[in-house]
Every structure is written in C-alpha cells, then in structure tokens.
C-alpha cells in the first residue's frame, strides 16, 4: 500500500484547540513526542496556529526549528519542525513514514488506507473503524498512553487491513443502487 518500505521517521500533526490551547495538555503531548524522538526522528509540519501556541506557552525547548538560513535550537532528540506542506507533499511524506501521530480525523482515514500505523492524540474519534481495523490506536492526551501506544506501533508489523467497503468501489455501488431504484416502470 504505502510508498514501499517504511522509512525511519514519524510524523506529527497537531492543531485542535483541545490539544494545543491548554498548556498542560500540549506540554504532556510534547513530552511524549520528545521521548519518542529518542527512538525515531519525529517530523512536525507545524500548523501556523500551533506555532503561535508553542511561542505563547514558551515550549520551544521541545523542538528543532528551521529557518531559511540555519537550524535554530538544534539538538538531539527534539521534534523537528518543518514548514506546512501542500496536500500531495504531505501525503507522500505520510505514505513513507513508519508512524503517524495526529489529532486529525482525515489523517486517521488516510493512514488506514495507506497501511501506515497511526496513534490518535484525542480522547475520542469520529472514525472508530480506523481503530477497529487495527491500524489506529486511540491514545488520548496523557503522556504515558501516547508513549506506550507509539512504541507498540513501532515494535509491531504494520497492518494493512482495510475496513469493509474501503475498496475504491463506492461510486460503482452507488450507481448500481441508484439504477435499481430509478428503473423505468
């Protein structure tokens, strides 16, 4: 499914107010990501809204930031912030990742289709089929849960088990149902 052999990096996306607008919650997530970064590089295409919270809460110590000229705050075992990416570039990065950690519902679905393990940084999900398929794990925002589930995903073989009807044939099924319903009588 994905872009071949998974690469040795993880990707993070964080933007939901419930995760980034409370310093305590955001800090716990960042502590977990920093620990994860000791095992595998963690790339973070940082959302402008999120970068504002990083600065507001003085959480820069968790990150390597890059500007056009030089690495800023560069050190070992930090989350590597990169500029936001366009959809196709992000999809390519995600398809080749070893792990994705996210608070995005759409990304939960995309990782499932791509067969890339996912850890959701939320207390609930509107995409429970991604969890029941085995590709996604719901970690919540507690440091211990995020670390445990991320390491479990890294230490296991990625699953490529698509949920029922996720076969790319939805349009065909819709047309078949409509033509059965609209037969001339």
Structural domain range at position 148: 10-181
Asked, for residue 105, whether it belongs to a domain, the answer is yes
Asked, for residue 2, whether it belongs to a domain, the answer is no
Asked, for residue 1, whether it belongs to a domain, the answer is no
Mean pLDDT value across the chain: 87
The more confidently predicted of residues 157 and 62 is 62
Instruction: Tell me the mean pLDDT in the region 24-32.
Output: 96
What pLDDT score was predicted for residue 2?
46
Asked, for residue 155, whether it belongs to a domain, the answer is yes
* Domain tally, the chain: 1
Tell me which residue of 117, 156, 155 sits closest to 137, measured CA to CA: 117
Q: Which residues belong to the active site?
A: 15
Structure tokens at 23: 């310093």
The domain that holds 104 is classified in CATH as 3.40.50.2000
In the chain the first and final C-alpha atoms are separated, in Å, by: 44
Asked, for residue 96, whether it belongs to a domain, the answer is yes
Would the pLDDT of 112 be above 60? yes
Would the pLDDT of 66 be above 70? no
Asked, for residue 5, whether it belongs to a domain, the answer is no
What pLDDT score was predicted for residue 156?
86
Asked, for residue 176, whether it belongs to a domain, the answer is yes
């Amino acid at each position: 499914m994905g872009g071949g052999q998974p690469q040795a990096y993880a990707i993070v996306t964080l933007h939901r107010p419930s995760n980034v607008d409370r310093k305590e919650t955001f800090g716990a997530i960042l502590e977990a990501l920093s620990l994860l970064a000791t095992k595998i590089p963690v790339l973070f295409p940082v959302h402008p809204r999120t970068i504002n919270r990083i600065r507001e809460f003085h959480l820069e110590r968790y990150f390597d930031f890059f500007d056009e000229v030089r690495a800023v705050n560069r050190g070992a075992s930090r989350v590597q912030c990169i500029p936001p990416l366009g959809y196709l570039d992000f999809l390519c990065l995600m398809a080749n990742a070893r792990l994705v950690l996210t608070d995005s519902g759409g990304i939960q679905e995309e990782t499932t289709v791509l067969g890339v393990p996912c850890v959701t940084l939320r207390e609930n999900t509107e995409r429970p089929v991604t969890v029941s398929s085995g590709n996604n794990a719901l970690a919540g925002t507690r440091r211990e849960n995020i670390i445990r589930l991320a390491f479990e995903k890294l230490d296991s073989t990625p699953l490529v088990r698509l949920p029922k009807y996720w076969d790319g044939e939805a349009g065909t099924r819709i047309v078949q149902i409509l033509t059965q319903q609209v037969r001339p009588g």
